[in-house]
Amino acid sequence: MAQLGGLIASALLKVVGDQIGSVLGGQIKLRRNFDNDLRRMKETLECVEAVLLDAERRAITDNEVRLWLKRLKDAMYAISDMLDDSEAGEVSRKKKLAAVIPFLTTVHKIKMANKMKTMREHVAEITAQHKAFNLMPGAGANKQKVTDTRVTTSSTLQAQIIGRTDEEEKILASVSKGITEQITFLPIYGIGGLGKTTMAKLIYNNNSQFQDYSRVWVYVSQTFDLNNIGNSIISQLSGKTSQDTNREMIHIALQKLFAEKQKILIVLDDLWEGSDFLLDDLKAMLMVEKASKVVVILTTRNEGIAKKMSTRPHKLAPLTNDMCWTIIKQKSGFEDKDDKAKLEQIGMDIAMKCGGVGLAAQSLGYMLNSMPTSHEWESVRESDIWTLSASDSEDTPSRQVIASLRLSYSSMPSYLKLCFAYCAIFPKGHKIVKDDLICQWISLDFIKPTRTSSSHQLGEKYITELLGLSFLEHSKSSLTARVHPDDVTLFTMHDLVHDLARSVMDGEILVASEDGNLGGSNCHFALLDDCNKRLESPRIRALHFMDSAEIGLHDAAFASAKSLRVLDLSQCCIHKLPDSIDRSKRLRYLNAPGIHDATIPNSITSLSKLNYLSLRDSSNILTLPQSIGEIEGLMYLDLSGCSGMRELPKSFGELKKLVHLDLSKCVCVCNVSEFLGSLTELQYLNLSGCRSIGNLHASLGVLSELQYLNLSFSSYVNCRKTKLFDVFTKVEHSNLSSSHSCLKQLPEVLGNLNKLKFLNLSGSYCLKELSWLSGNQKSLVHLDLSKCRGVNYIPEAFAGFTNLQYLNLSACLRYRLEESPVCQIDRLIDHISTLSNLEHLDLSNNGDAICSLPESLGNLRKLHTLDLSHCNITKIPESIGTIDSLKMLYFKGCWLLSNVPQLSASSISLPLFGVHAGDGKSSSNLVLLQGMNPVELKIIQLEKVKSAEEAMCIKLMEKERLQDLTLRWTEDAQRFVDDEVLLEKLEPPSSLTTLIIQWYNGVRFPSWLSQLPNLTWLALYDMKHLEEWSASDSSGANDLRFPKLDCLYIKNCPNLRMQSLLPRAKRWYISKSDNALSSWGECTMSDTSSPSLVTTQLAVADCELPLHQWRLLGHLSGLTELRMERCGDLTGTPEIIQHLSSLNGLSLTGKEHEELPKWLGELTSLERLCIDGYRGIKELDESIRKLTKLQELKLYNCNSMSSLPHWLTELTYLNTLVINFCEGIRSLPESIEKLTNLKKLKINCPHLKR
């Protein structure tokens, strides 16, 4: 690629010109000679600026012009440093020396004047050289203009996949041919930006071809590391982090996993390594045994690498010109432009120059969006950039895409060129934090505020433009999501765009992997990998470290960088911030998180230029320097997570320019409110988790510029009333949430905050009124009222929040509706249903308040997520199934819900997921669960699954978060797949604690059902055909397979026969499953794998089997509690009764029994006896008299019983007597007074005489 370093010259000159203007128009008094030289220099720069556009164009191919621009850039940097010194020196001397030693101030001015004169002459000499190049004057520097074009996510995605359907099918066909082999390598190669990664993603997510495959995605990049590749595959297949450094151990682990998974799809994205030896090692590492099949898809730009990995690699074809034109039309807003007939021909000509690369088409389309006339489109078509030398690239398509990106860059306004070029300092694939990037731009003077916009606002607009050009892309990865909070916005750059940025910054960036820390003395930016090495580059203005988390920071790493403005130590191990930090006088941005030491050096306060300071997550810091207030220019301060800090220095209130203050999770810091009153410029304030804020009312009353306020879980929310929002007319984000807020009232003025976008009042239990929700908050996007249980009335006016996207009313409606005689939920939902932009609606945890929902809910056509968990709804409106945008539907705890309407093809209901299969479709919607990893999952209507492969595709075994699983078929429904085959494929993860299976038609269970080590609850319902459930072996090893089982519930499984080696459970419940009681073999009391000693509780219901055939009792020698409900013949034998000798508690629930079992008196250890529903007995059996240890006797619904026996007083241990609904009892025996141990007597018999 041609080096484009000259292209930032005009942008840099513009920055320095603005800086000179700022000094001349400032309040610092300059010597006359200095002032004159400065004015003359500005005039010189303005003259040369007129020819810079032509110079930049010619510099791409003309080495002499490029060298001249480099000398001009170096001079600009030197001028910038000199002006910095001038300002800093004047301010410092005015504060400390002018009043005492005015002579020193004069000497400094003379020195600066002499330096400026020398510099002016040097610049004049450089600028005079341009005449030799016959540069043509052109338009002046671009004015700051931000394109106000909205780019939607869908159009970007559509542009990425246009025209690839046929090619995807070809690649899949190629894979199918080699699928019979143990391992198949299929390389996809082509130029950068062509869509190789997008194609690999399409294949990776193809459920029809790879339903039963375990899938792995590895981003390889230019840094080829076999250990990293191997560990990444192991981690993804096993679900556990692997960091092994022994190659042999990695190979063994891979072979074991390949054998377990059997079928694996691996994508190796962006492979650059061309070494035959390393590629052979890669192949060897992935080789498998005969029983396994591995498909490896890899992407690379290099045809040679592709052919080394496979004899038949796939070359990705470029998009056709028509496809590129389709993308350009989408991005340029073609349909809304005038003179479309003329523009179309020009546009098609431009599309032909894209080289079939979607990335180029996207970038050019966005650029053309801001060009309404055919003349401007023609200037793009006729640009000289298209005719650059072919030496830049190996093939024409690559040259064309690079040319298109160059053209987009060269067409940028100057203010955007430097901002984009600076992104080259980040390594490829790096996740860029948006706010940090903007703050770095500001610190490097790339952005200056205007009369109407702050620097940060302009930065936001520049980000939007770069996104539109596809020069930045939104990024969200699991790794960064754990490092950054949810509200952090992350970006990344396409490799080709990154190459362009590096090309633009040719000679400007020192990269450790290329130059080492010692080289690059003329560079102005650096990306290093060792923060312990000495840096010998005094001109460095921005310094980043990468991959240095294990390397201790040494001050030599940046001590020599006298021009340093930006220092990012976020990837360094910082034991202590060096005292020498004060040598970096020009430092504006310091990111130093996680400092281990307890103090910050006092020298940091001499950094008068510092405007950004982040010390986040430095939990060991006890205090800040007492003179912290001397950093008067500080605007951004992040102390979040500094939990050891107890107080702020007295000078903290002197930081009057602060606009961003984050003290979240500073749990020990006290009396923050004392300083806030003087920080009148604050726009962002986060005090989340601060427990001792102090009195905020007075101090916050002056913060009229505040836009973001987070007081969640702080001491403030324990107040009962607030005047917080009286002056906050600019607030856009407010978070007052808490686990239990004491706020009782919010002011009516809150209703006038017409800029409010985000409001979180979650947990405000004491809040009574929401009258301030008047509907005036038209800008509101996010509203969280969850757990506001004390609210008496939910105003229907909030239906006027037409921009609302997120609404959370969880646990908010219950109390209001309990107090109201008329249920208004339908009317409330009707109003909510008018919120046309609503995407997320949470109505969970509202119990009886929501028993039904109106059909109007289906009007929410943009709804993405609906949460109805723990609501007592009985049915879901049919209209919900018509919402095509609906992706997630939550039903946890909706016990009364009997059925779910068929949802759209892409919708998922959780935890209740109903399987659906459309007419004529080859598969059901079960595959939608593939990417889900819920804690609870209930899959119903399993009979609609079309193939066993669908069940394999969802990979239940890999859902490690899953704890509660229900698998339910529909009774007597026709099946597509045999139940035994399907259940075998639905093997859950070892993490499972609860498993419920209902209406399973199989004869036997799969082996995995005896191998769930964390299972505590197992329920088997309505299995009419199930005959056998036995252990997989006879060694007793299954004792370890259910070590935690607490309850085994078997209901309506009439044919189920059980063996003596079943898993043990503490509690058994058996209903309408007689064979489960009788099928046990001879008692083997010594068998440690039997339930004998573990099982202590047994409940049997609706059993017609005579008691003497309950062979299970012979295996329960440890039984202490027995419950018999509605059982038939309870005639026992001495052998059976002997097995009940250890009972402490017995409960008998009868039908119309006329007598109690005769063997009751033989249970001499019995302490608790409950008799219920024995309507035919007239008196208690005499045998109960023998139960001398009885402590508790309960009688329910024994209608024929007329009295209690006189011998009841012989039960001297009796302490509880309960008699309920025994209508025949009219009196108690007088001797009952002799029960001296009786503590509880409860009688509810309607005819009992008092």
Percent of the chain with pLDDT over 90: 24
Specify the pLDDT at position 466.
87
- Nearest residue to 35 (alpha-carbon basis) of 73, 83, 72: 83
Q: What is the dihedral of CA 1168, 1174, 1177, 1180, to 10 degrees?
A: 10
Instruction: Please check the confidence at residue 88 and state whether its pLDDT lies above 60.
Output: no
How far does the chain reach from its first CA to its final CA, in angstroms?
105
Look at strands 1192-1196 and 1216-1220 and give their pairing. parallel
Instruction: Please check the confidence at residue 183 and state whether its pLDDT lies above 50.
Output: yes
Task: Give dist(CA 499, CA 409) in Å, integer.
Answer: 12
Lowest mean pLDDT among 842-851, 899-908, 993-1002: 899-908
Task: Give dist(CA 271, CA 220) in Å, integer.
Answer: 6
Q: 885 and 742, same structural domain?
A: yes
Identify the domain boundary among 890, 917, 948: 890
Q: 129 and 13, same structural domain?
A: yes
Identify the domain boundary among 315, 341, 373: 315
Confidence class of residue 97 from pLDDT cuts 50, 70 and 90?
A: very low
Does residue 505 fall inside a structural domain? no
Helices (H) and strands (E) in the chain, counts: 30, 44
Q: 844 and 745, same structural domain?
A: yes
For the residues 326-339, what does the mean pLDDT come to?
85
Structural domain for 782, as ranges: 737-890
Specify the pLDDT at position 793.
66
Specify the pLDDT at position 1153.
67
Does residue 143 fall inside a structural domain? no
For the record, the structure tokens of 220 come out as: 């390889």
730 versus 996: the higher-pLDDT residue is 996
Task: Give dist(CA 53, CA 417) in Å, integer.
Answer: 13
User: Which string of b and e fits 619-640 if b means at least 16 CB within 10 Å?
Assistant: eebebbbeebbbbeebbbbbbb
Does residue 244 fall inside a structural domain? yes
Q: What are phi and psi of 323, to 5 degrees?
A: -65, -45
- Measured over the CA atoms of residue 260, residue 266, residue 272 and residue 275, the dihedral's sign is positive
- Nearest residue to 19 (alpha-carbon basis) of 86, 69, 65: 86
Lowest mean pLDDT among 23-37, 109-123, 1196-1210: 23-37
Q: How many domains does the chain have?
A: 5
Task: Give dist(CA 976, CA 949) in Å, integer.
Answer: 12
Task: Give dist(CA 951, CA 955) in Å, integer.
Answer: 7
For the residues 640-667, what does the mean pLDDT come to?
93
Does residue 1079 fall inside a structural domain? no
644 versus 406: the higher-pLDDT residue is 644
DSSP of 1043-1070, one letter per residue?
A: TT--EEEEES-TT-EE-TTPPP-SEEEE
Q: 882 and 822, same structural domain?
A: yes
Q: 48 and 9, same structural domain?
A: yes
State how far Cα 299 lies from the chain centre: 27
For the residues 433-447, what does the mean pLDDT come to?
94
pLDDT digits (tens, 9 = 90+) for 1098-1134: 999 999 899 888 888 888 888 899 999 998 888 878 8
814 versus 215: the higher-pLDDT residue is 215
Does residue 1240 fall inside a structural domain? yes
Confidence class of residue 1152 from pLDDT cuts 50, 70 and 90?
A: low
For the record, the structure tokens of 881 come out as: 């199934």
For the residues 988-1012, what does the mean pLDDT come to?
91
Instruction: Please check the confidence at residue 613 and state whether its pLDDT lies above 50.
Output: yes
Specify the pLDDT at position 393.
46
Task: Give dist(CA 205, CA 1213) in Å, integer.
Answer: 70
Identify the domain boundary among 266, 299, 315: 315
1079 versus 944: the higher-pLDDT residue is 944
Specify the pLDDT at position 470.
74
CA atoms lying within 13 Å on the CB side of residue 135: 29
Specify the pLDDT at position 266.
92
Does residue 447 fall inside a structural domain? no
Q: What are phi and psi of 508, to 5 degrees?
A: -100, -25
Task: Give dist(CA 562, CA 538) in Å, integer.
Answer: 6
Specify the pLDDT at position 1042.
76
Q: 632 and 672, same structural domain?
A: yes
What secondary structure letter does DSSP report for 1144?
S
Phi-psi region of 1088 (alpha: psi -120 to 50; beta: other; left: phi over 0): alpha
Does the pTM exceed 0.75?
Answer: no
Specify the pLDDT at position 142.
40
Average pLDDT, the chain: 81
Percent of the chain with pLDDT over 70: 83
Q: 712 and 757, same structural domain?
A: no
pLDDT digits (tens, 9 = 90+) for 739-748: 776 666 665 6
Q: 306 and 216, same structural domain?
A: yes
Does residue 910 fall inside a structural domain? no
Q: How far is CA 329 from CA 339, 350, 407, 991, in A?
A: 14, 11, 18, 51
| Cα angle: 238, vertex 244, 248; to 5 degrees | 95
Does residue 534 fall inside a structural domain? no
Confidence class of residue 22 from pLDDT cuts 50, 70 and 90?
A: confident
Neighbours of 461 (CB within 10 A): 18
Q: 186 and 303, same structural domain?
A: yes
CATH number of domain containing 868: 3.80.10.10
Q: 121 and 211, same structural domain?
A: no
Instruction: Please check the confidence at residue 269 and state whether its pLDDT lies above 50.
Output: yes
Specify the pLDDT at position 1026.
92
- Nearest residue to 966 (alpha-carbon basis) of 1006, 994, 1007, 935: 994
Lowest mean pLDDT among 94-108, 264-278, 428-442, 910-924: 94-108
Instruction: Please check the confidence at residue 838 and state whether its pLDDT lies above 80.
Output: yes
CA atoms lying within 13 Å on the CB side of residue 335: 4
Specify the pLDDT at position 1037.
44
Q: 775 and 693, same structural domain?
A: no
Q: How far is CA 666 from CA 501, 618, 619, 677, 740, in A?
A: 39, 10, 9, 19, 19
Bond into 911 cis (ω within 30)? yes
**Per-range mean pLDDT, top range of 643-657, 806-820, 1017-1031:** 643-657
- Nearest residue to 974 (alpha-carbon basis) of 949, 1001, 940, 952: 1001
| Contact (Cβ atoms closer than 8 angstroms) between residue 670 and residue 694 | yes
Q: Burial-class residue 755 by CB neighbours within 10 Å (0-12, 13-18, 19+).
A: middle
Q: 674 and 741, same structural domain?
A: no
Q: How far is CA 1103 from CA 727, 845, 1130, in A?
A: 73, 38, 10
Task: Give dist(CA 86, CA 80) in Å, integer.
Answer: 10
Confidence class of residue 610 from pLDDT cuts 50, 70 and 90?
A: very high
Task: Give dist(CA 278, CA 232) in Å, integer.
Answer: 17
pLDDT digits (tens, 9 = 90+) for 38-52: 788 777 777 777 777
